[in-house]
């Protein structure tokens, strides 16, 4: 099953919206945006399907935030401030005709993506990504270097037997050096020294643990990119959700108005804390389940060092 980053962003956004309770106001682009800037001399004027809900403030197109400096409800246009492209650290980009335009999004997509990547990175302290590499055995060489693999630990090593059996024979004697001598092997090299007998020319397979890799593109597959099992998908969704919900209350601290006081009487500051605690508890429970499952699937194996 293919799970893309874009699918994860949509699922986190759906969960944060409460399915039906909180719906962002949205419209669409009536003309494509082909430039990346909006100068005071030549401001970007965005034509929208409707400006009924548009006001002075932030809008989101795809994953770029823009700041609307003024708007025209007659011509359905919005003028972007000179500093309004790539607002709040988003990346300026071109946008296609009919692209979705979200007005003052509560949870911007770029922030959800960042929360997902933060969760994937944090999982590295409890779980590992499983990967493998191979090399051909040379009878005159016992130490082999791995460059750029960022190996945390070698789980198993085996070599393919000669003949039609296609059997993979476990290697019992090996020593892993995560910080190999830089003079002999290079600045970032890691090495493994093997003490078992292996038929020259045969393939050696190394199964190793490494840190999960965060996403760099919306089209990347979850399991392929991160190295985590697909069953961890909901762990990442829950982790991103509690990270996003944690920042709801700070946005309301500075509200000082009769309307804000009226709202606070029904939804006081720190009201979201209970939701954060509940989702964090679910996240912790699922993480512990995945950690246990991984430990059972890949138990510590005894090997000998020379």
Per-residue pLDDT 10s for the chain (306 aa) are: 789 999 999 999 988 887 655 678 999 999 999 999 999 999 999 999 999 999 999 999 999 999 999 999 999 999 999 999 999 999 999 999 999 999 999 899 999 999 999 999 999 999 999 999 999 999 999 999 998 899 999 999 999 999 888 899 999 999 999 998 888 888 888 999 999 999 999 999 999 999 999 999 999 999 999 999 999 999 999 999 999 988 776 655 555 555 445 555 555 656 677 888 999 999 999 999 999 999 999 887 777 776
| Structural domain boundaries in the chain | 1-21+106-127+221-306, 23-105, 129-210
What are the DSSP calls for 100-120, one per residue?
A: EEEES-SS-HHHHHHHHHHHH
Q: Which of 115, 132, 211 is nearest to 168 (CA)?
A: 132
Residue with tokens 């990175």: 121
pLDDT value for 17 = 83
What are the DSSP calls for 172-205, one per residue?
A: -BEEEESS--HHHH-TTEEEEEE-S---TT-EEE
Residue with tokens 């099992």: 229
pLDDT value for 174 = 93
Count the neighbouring beta carbons within 10 Å of the beta carbon of residue 263.
13
pLDDT value for 301 = 79
């Amino acid at each position: 099953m293919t799970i893309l980053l874009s699918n994860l962003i949509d699922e986190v956004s759906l969960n944060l919206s409460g399915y039906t309770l909180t719906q962002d106001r949205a419209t669409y682009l009536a003309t494509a945006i082909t430039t990346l800037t909006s100068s005071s001399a030549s401001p970007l004027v965005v034509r929208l399907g409707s400006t009924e809900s548009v006001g002075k403030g932030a809008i989101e197109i795809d994953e770029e935030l823009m700041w609307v400096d003024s708007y025209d409800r007659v011509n359905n246009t919005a003028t972007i401030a000179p500093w309004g492209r790539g607002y709040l650290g988003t990346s300026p980009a071109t946008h296609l005709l009919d692209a979705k335009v979200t007005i003052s999004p509560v949870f911007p997509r770029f922030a959800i993506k960042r929360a997902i990547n933060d969760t994937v990175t944090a999982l590295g302290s409890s779980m590992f990504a499983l990967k493998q590499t191979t090399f051909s055995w040379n009878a005159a060489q016992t130490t082999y270097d791995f460059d750029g693999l960022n190996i945390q630990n070698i789980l198993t090593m085996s070599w393919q037997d000669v003949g039609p059996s296609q059997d993979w024979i476990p290697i019992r004697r090996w020593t892993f050096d995560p910080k190999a001598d830089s003079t002999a092997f290079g600045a970032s090299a890691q090495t493994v020294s093997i003490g078992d007998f292996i038929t020259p020319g045969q393939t050696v397979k190394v199964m190793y643990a490494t840190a999960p890799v965060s996403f760099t593109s919306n089209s990347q597959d979850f399991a392929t990119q991160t190295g985590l099992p697909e069953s961890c998908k909901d762990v990442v969704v829950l982790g991103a959700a509690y990270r996003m919900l944690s920042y709801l209350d700070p946005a309301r601290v500075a509200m000082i108005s009769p309307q804000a006081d009226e709202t606070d009487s029904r939804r006081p500051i720190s009201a979201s804390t209970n939701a954060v605690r509940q989702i964090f508890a679910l996240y912790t429970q699922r993480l512990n389940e995945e950690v246990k499952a991984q430990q059972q699937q890949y138990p510590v194996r005894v090997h000998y060092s020379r």
